[in-house]
């Protein structure tokens, strides 16, 4: 999808008003017309935006609106809303004085909102660059009047242009497509029955891609992920016997090809850029591995020929998830000297994607460990210095040094080298309870990791020249817990999207704004204030409940708490049982490997403080619960905090009980483990009865660990 940066559209809200009166008192008979010129009447993006505006005016001010088509502003009645292209006579130089302003020069997606007078009629003017930019202007106007009911009657003079040119929030790769992936033995599921993530695209119940496109647009973002190009390659003109039409594999691949076509149509309908991705290499089972470069060449050419509307192709080299797929093989480059071959591979793909098809190529630098090329400046530069490609190539780098754990430095690779970069962020973190309880990572997105001095954040990346931000929605991690209420996740999405427009945004201000909009209260209300405080407290909650400062800070990024918790699994570790020994498994890790007798009191204090923070958050929400207009939402979100209390209480007493045990303090250990049992039993037996709570965290060795410790001390529960 191509966006013409010279194309402008204008929305004019004609409101007969004085600057000191309320909006509802300024409109005759509480009615307004929305008038759209015929040439843009059918634009879905503008229909969505003006529809949202109509609903907002009705809900907040009881103002009824009607949609009309009209060409001439002179014929408009007062108190009307106009949507007009910028190249109409209204923006011609000879007519400029009727607006009283000079036509603004806006970057892609920028817009202006300004109070003006037109032929002595007071107006609110919203003008954006293109259909998308104008839609953003309308959505921003809606947001401002939701935050301040008197906004439309005061002085208005806003010009907004996004700091990030490409703004994505999406899945970084396609779900494998098989619900039984959750029960496969690798990487971390072991023998525990786990659910498949219903939030992943296509296979998830209730997934509506058009809703996703609408919400991307509403959020001020401009790119939508549509699928995996490898999984949608049919190979008919390469070898038609690979995926015969009537075979299970052939039907599976063609289904994905059809779905990508549908998603591209939806994205184009709302003027969104489109993104497709794949791990490298992925090719059909049964093919000669020595032909993997040829198969990649064919796959890209088939895909970009079939889907010329695609804007961005991303690839990942550090991991390959196609080993879950029944029909494809996942294989990387040779492990020996792998990074030495990256430049050749990157240039190979760029030659097809960018040189031949004029698309943006975005290689992801992700790989495991502290010293890989995505985390080490020397190794990163050793790769990109040999890459010949310059145009239409953006190297995508996680904002964290390794994975999205806390206790990760802001990635030192960001801002280095002579190639354009993108920054990756995460909205729903698989390492930190997946927003089953509040975790407001917008603070780190904006400012960097406070536990390591706070250097970094989107502002730092912007100053380093980065103009692309990629936020992962729900893709990180494996399996649960699965949320039933998405509000806490929504706070991260809101904060991320607003930071892409203004990297100087204050996370506290964003928290208040989100709370006001989400809970339908004014931004200065007690509800918004207290919800914002809860969000701001959540950063310390995660740092203290999930990590161990003295241990984590020494890891320098990778496995900062040995993954003693991963997704919904809580790991174990005892002296006596081989199954639960101290081995440093990838996940769930063992808490004994974290234990240190020299830091035991500080480590336990962290967990005590985490529970105290959780109780404070619960108390703050209880104080404003009855002031939230939507009662069901209020009750269910309060329940998510109860869920948090008994989860964090479980972890607090698990750690203290086992650390006391490892330290030989058996009396204290027994007392704490009995408290652990009370919290864990309540969490398992009572919390699931509460509406709105997420699926439970699961025992990944914790229970046997506690039982064995009690037996060793000649005690029982």
Tell me if 101 sits within 8 A of 31, measured CB to CB: no
Structure tokens at 501: 């427009």
Burial class (CB in 10 A: 0-12, 13-18, 19+), 211: exposed
**In the predicted structure, residue 270 carries a pLDDT above the cut 50:** yes
Average pLDDT of the chain, as a whole number = 86
CB-CB neighbours of 185 under 10 Å: 8
Q: What's the confidence (pLDDT) of residue 414?
A: 96
pLDDT band at 400 (very low <50, low <70, confident <90, very high): very high
| H-helix segments, 270-331 | 292-306
The answer, yes or no, to whether residue 203 has pLDDT greater than 90, is: no
Tell me the mean pLDDT in the region 341-348: 95
pLDDT tens figures, 278-302: 999 999 999 999 999 999 999 999 9
Instruction: Find, among 540, 582, 576, the residue nearest to 564 by Cα.
Output: 582
3-state secondary structure (DSSP) of residue 131: helix
Q: How many CB atoms lie within 10 A of CB 697?
A: 24
Q: Residue 173 has what pLDDT?
A: 40
pLDDT at 151: 87
Nearest CA to 362 out of 327, 387, 397 is that of 397
Using an 8 Å Cβ cutoff, are 65 and 54 in contact? yes
- Write down the pLDDT at residue 207: 58
Helix/strand/coil for 410: strand
Q: Are 280 and 296 contacting, i.e. CB atoms less than 8 angstroms apart?
A: yes
Q: How many CB atoms lie within 10 A of CB 665?
A: 16
Q: How far is CA 369 from CA 372, 376, 425, in A?
A: 6, 10, 18
Confidence at residue 444, expressed as pLDDT on a 0 to 100 scale: 98
Average pLDDT of span 636-649:
99
Fold for the domain defined by 8-160: Chitobiase; domain 2 (3.30.379)
The total of other beta-carbon atoms located within 10 Å of residue 402's CB is 25
Of 187 and 583, the structure prediction assigns the larger pLDDT to 583
Q: Where in the chain is the domain with CATH 3.20.20.80?
A: 166-525
pLDDT in tens, 204-257: 444 577 888 999 999 999 999 998 999 999 999 999 999 999 999 999 999 999
Q: How many CB atoms lie within 10 A of CB 563?
A: 22
- In this prediction, residue 493 carries a pLDDT of 93
Task: Let me know the angle formed at the C-alpha of 201 by 237 and 139, rounded to the nearest 5 degrees.
Answer: 115
Of 163, 130, 289, 296, nearest to 228 (Cα)? 296
The mean pLDDT of 578-594, rounded to a whole number, is 59
DSSP strand pairing (80-85 vs 121-129): unpaired
Report the share of the chain in percent with pLDDT over 90: 63
Q: Quick check: helix, strand or coil at residue 82?
A: strand
Report the C-alpha gap between 588 and 181 in whole angstroms: 18
Give residue 491's pLDDT. 96
The DSSP output letter for 690 is S
Q: What is the mean pLDDT of residues 483-490?
A: 90
The model's pTM:
0.92
Report the C-alpha gap between 546 and 571 in whole angstroms.
12
pLDDT at 192 over 60: no
Interval 505-542: pLDDT, tens: 999 999 999 999 999 998 999 999 999 999 999 999 99
The Cα-based distances of 440 to 199, 360, 532, 569, 619 in angstroms read 20, 32, 10, 21, 18
In our burial notation (b when 16+ CB lie closer than 10 A, e otherwise), range 74-106 reads: eebeebbbbbbbbebebbeeeeeebbeeebbeb
Which is it for the CA torsion 523, 528, 529, 534, positive or negative?
negative
Parallel, antiparallel or unpaired: strands 223-228 and 273-279: parallel
Instruction: Write out 630-667 in H/E/C secondary structure.
Output: CHHHHHHHHHHHHHHHHHHHHHHHHHHHHHHHHCCCHH
For residue range 413-440, list pLDDT tens digits in order.
999 999 999 999 999 888 899 999 999 9
Q: State the pLDDT at residue 409.
A: 92
Q: What is the DSSP letter of 448?
A: -
Q: Where are the beta strands (DSSP E) in 351-486?
A: 360-364, 395-398, 421-426, 468-472
Highest mean pLDDT among 17-21, 56-60, 563-567, 654-658: 654-658
Residues of the chain with CATH 3.30.379.10: 8-160
499 φ/ψ angles, rounded to the nearest 5 degrees: -65, -30
With 70 as the cut, is the pLDDT of residue 587 above it? no
d(CA 26, CA 611): 51
Q: Which CATH superfamily is domain 166-525 in?
A: Glycosidases (3.20.20.80)
What is the reported pLDDT for 337?
Answer: 59
Extract the runs of DSSP E, i.e. beta strands, from 162-203: 166-170
């Amino acid at each position: 999808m191509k966006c013409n940066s010279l194309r402008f559209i204008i929305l004019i809200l004609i409101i007969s008003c004085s600057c000191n009166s309320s909006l509802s008192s300024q409109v005759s008979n509480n009615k307004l017309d929305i008038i759209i010129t015929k040439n843009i009447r059918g634009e879905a993006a503008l229909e969505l935006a003006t529809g949202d505006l109509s609903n907002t005016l009705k809900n907040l001010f009881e103002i009824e609106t009607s949609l009309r088509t009209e060409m001439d502003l002179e014929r408009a009645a007062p108190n009307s809303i106009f949507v007009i292209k910028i190249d109409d006579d209204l923006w011609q130089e000879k007519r400029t004085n009727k607006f009283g302003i000079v036509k603004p020069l806006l970057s892609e997606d920028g817009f202006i909102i300004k109070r003006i007078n037109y032929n002595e009629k007071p107006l609110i003017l919203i003008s954006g660059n293109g259909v998308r930019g104008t839609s953003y202007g309308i959505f921003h106007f809606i947001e401002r009047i939701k935050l301040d009911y008197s906004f439309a009657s005061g002085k208005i003079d806003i010009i907004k242009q996004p700091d990030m040119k490409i703004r994505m929030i999406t899945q970084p790769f396609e779900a494998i497509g098989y619900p039984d992936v959750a029960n496969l033995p690798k990487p971390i599921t072991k023998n525990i029955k786990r659910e498949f993530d219903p939030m992943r695209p296509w296979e998830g119940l209730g997934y509506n891609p058009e809703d996703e496109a609408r919400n991307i647009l509403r959020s001020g973002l401009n790119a939508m992920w549509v699928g995996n190009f490898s999984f949608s390659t049919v190979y008919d003109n390469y070898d038609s016997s690979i995926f015969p039409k009537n075979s299970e594999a052939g039907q599976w691949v063609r289904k994905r090809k059809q779905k990508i076509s549908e998603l591209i149509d939806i994205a184009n309908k709302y003027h969104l850029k489109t993104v497709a991705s794949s791990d490298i290499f992925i090719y059909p089972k049964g093919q000669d591995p020595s032909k993997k470069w040829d198969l990649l060449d064919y796959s890209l050419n088939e895909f970009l020929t079939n889907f010329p509307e695609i804007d961005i192709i991303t690839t990942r080299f550090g991991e390959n998830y196609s080993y879950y797929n029944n029909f494809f093989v996942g294989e990387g480059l040779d492990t020996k000297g792998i990074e030495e071959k990256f430049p050749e591979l990157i240039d190979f793909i760029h030659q097809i994607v960018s040189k031949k098809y004029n698309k943006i190529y975005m290689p992801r630098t992700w790989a495991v460990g502290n010293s890989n090329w995505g985390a080490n400046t020397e190794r990163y530069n050793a790769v990109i210095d040999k890459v010949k490609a310059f145009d239409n190539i953006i190297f995508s780098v996680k904002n964290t040094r390794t994975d999205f754990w806390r206790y990760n430095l802001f990635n030192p690779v960001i801002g280095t080298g002579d190639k354009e970069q993108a920054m990756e962020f995460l909205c729903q973190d698989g390492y930190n309870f997946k927003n089953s309880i509040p975790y407001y990572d917008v603070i780190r997105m904006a400012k960097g990791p406070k536990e390591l001095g706070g250097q970094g954040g989107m502002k730092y990346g912007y100053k380093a020249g980065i103009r692309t931000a990629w936020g992962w929605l729900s893709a990180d991690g494996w399996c649960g817990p699965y949320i039933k209420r998405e509000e806490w996740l929504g706070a991260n999405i809101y904060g991320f999207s607003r930071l892409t427009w203004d990297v100087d945004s204050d996370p506290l201000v964003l928290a208040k704004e989100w709370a006001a909009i989400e809970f339908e209260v004014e931004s200065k209300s007690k509800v918004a204030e207290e919800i914002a405080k809860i969000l701001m407290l959540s950063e310390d909650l995660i740092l203290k409940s999930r990590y161990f400062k003295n241990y984590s800070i020494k890891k320098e990024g990778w496995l900062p708490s040995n993954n003693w918790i991963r997704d919904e699994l809580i790991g174990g570790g005892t002296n006596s049982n081989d199954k639960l020994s101290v081995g440093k498994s990838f996940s769930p890790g063992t808490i004994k490997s974290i234990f240190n007798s020299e830091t035991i009191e500080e480590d336990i204090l962290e967990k005590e403080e985490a529970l105290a923070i959780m109780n404070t958050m619960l108390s703050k929400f209880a104080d404003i619960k009855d002031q939230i207009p939507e009662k069901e939402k209020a009750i269910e979100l309060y329940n998510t905090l109860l869920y948090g209390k008994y989860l964090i209480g479980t972890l607090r007493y698990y750690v203290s009980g086992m650390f006391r045990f490892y330290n030989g303090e058996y009396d204290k250990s027994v007392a704490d483990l009995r408290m652990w049992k009370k919290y864990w039993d309540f969490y398992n037996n009572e919390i699931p009865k509460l509406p709105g709570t997420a699926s439970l965290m699961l025992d990944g060795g914790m229970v046997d660990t506690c039982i064995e410790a009690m037996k060793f001390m000649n005690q029982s529960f």
